[in-house]
Amino acid sequence: MSSLPLKDLVDQWVQLDPDPETRNEIQNLWQREDYEELEKRLRTRIEFGTAGLRGRMEAGWSRMNDLIIIQTSQGLAEYVLQHVENAQSRGLVIGHDHRHNSEHWANLTTQTFIAKGIKVYTLRGLNHTPMVPFSVKKLKAACGVMITASHNPKQDNGYKVYWENAVQIIGPHDAGISNAIQLNLTPQPLVNVHSITDLVADLTENLRRDYFDCLRALSSTKTLNPYVPVKFVNTSMHGVGDPFSKQAFEIFGFAPYIPVKEQQEADPEFPTVKFPNPEEKGALNLAIETADREGADYVLAQDPDADRFTAAEKDASGTWTLFTGDQLGSLFASQVFKSYKASGKPLDKLAMVASTVSSKMIESMARIEGFKFTECLTGFKFIGNTALNLVEQGYEVPFGYEEAIGFMFGTHIRDKDGVAATVSFAELVASLCTEGKTVKDHLQELHQRYGYFETRNSYFISNDQKVTDEIFTHIRHQDVSDLHGGDTYPTSLGSLKITRIVDLTTGYDSGNPPDYRPSLPLSSGHMIQIRAGDATQGASLVLTLRTSGTEPKIKYYLEGKGENPQIVGPLLSKAVTEIADNWIQCAKHGLRIA
């Protein structure tokens, strides 16, 4: 496609696009001679990867629109028929959120699959993303599709695919589906959903009831008094989460939370937030204002498709603490461990999973308490599959998380679930309240037992790939290290000696002799993890530097561990300065920390 004349790309689009609105969009751009915009829209195709598709809704091969949805569904259907046994009868599960075009694209996907003779289980109405993997597992379906762009801006939408194991797809399926799409680009006649009723089933009511039954089983405090004197405010960020979170509160026996009314209803325009991401600075301002007005102690928040969660707590002085994803992950891990230990099950059969860029506090917890901890690459496609692999080895895996406020609970959904996280956090608050403690108090107790951990995560904007490559080449060739015979990595970070380097781009792990191959899969972009420590200071650092697959960013994840904040804080500050000045060489390349 990239080598064709622009006029040919325009003609191809006009010929294939079944939607007159987006067809006219391209024609009007051509008539206006807006060749620059047409190049952006038509020169490259939106990439189908391990998270499916996600992008801006408008005409063009590089965007999200009817034609892309039809072509993707045709390719996915053919691939599933070839690679999943009894795919036609096992069927597809499809759900959608509230974004513009979500319901329409869910219908197009349904029509495409039934045209291939594949049964479709439709999730009626607005659903949160975890309902799709839950339903795939419950129904033993061949695959699942969720139409959502999660916490992206309102202009975006997406197409998320789950495999027959109810986990987001990984290689080689991503490449296989992508190839199948290329072989099925011509839209085939669609079938009216109502004309083939035996291929379309609506089990939404039963599946939701089963979901909440499984959610109820997660409760670790069966005899908890729900009438603790705690007020919660909840925001669903204009998304689909409020009805699910409200019902979850009811089945756990809690008094109703106070909703942020301005953000309670599903609204694809997201009128009160530019980026509907609970992690964004200022995203919880309305929720905190509501909590202050209502005299509430805690703010709970889900992102628009309710698969992610965060929380904030007000202390006695009226100051709010917004918990990080890593802090929440450690709190949840401790909560799950406590419940598992109380059950009397053998601790050596317990395992937990976290992404490699997440905090190492669970690693410390596992070492002290005697359970297994495993890390994996970033993304729940890897967390979910790692959990399934551990189950095959005889472990029970009741929890996994990534620092980007994604948390997996129980065994029924091997994906992040913001509703499960919401009631798990509320249960933790209520349990601590009966002991006269706050969540912040409990976090300090965990630090006393497992070490004080603090993170500093951010990124550098690098719009030039050559500059990015040069930066990582510089990091790998500083001519001061004998850790590896070829590349010469740095020997110190923030005054601490580097003790281990894992380069998931070149395939090198200094701590894994004799072949020095990393246990984690290689990364498609640049990714280096470095550990440094000093036993005499009782301090350590873990740094992960990686490029983003979707944005022009060099991300860094930096965590320090020590006895207290007075040791860790200055150590982190020194390391950040060193990374920016000496490793990234911001002055030389004209970059800065975001």
Residues known to be catalytic: 150
DSSP labels, 265-308: S--TT-TT-SS--TTSTTTTHHHHHHHHHHT-SEEEEE-TTSS-
Residue 129: enclosing H or E segment and its boundaries?
A: none
Amino acid at 166: A
Cβ partners under 8 Å of residue 92, min gap 6: 77, 80, 109, 113, 118, 119, 120, 121, 141, 142, 143, 144, 145
- Contact, 331 vs 407, CB < 8 A? no
Distances (CA, A) of 404 to 171, 275, 276, 279, 352: 22, 15, 14, 8, 17
Helix, strand, coil percentages, rounded to 5, for the chain: 40, 20, 40
Rg of the chain over all Cα atoms, to the nearest angstrom: 25
Let me know: does 245 contact 296? Beta carbons within 8 Å: no
d(CA 490, CA 467): 19
Q: What residue type is 558 in one-letter code?
A: L
DSSP state of 197: G
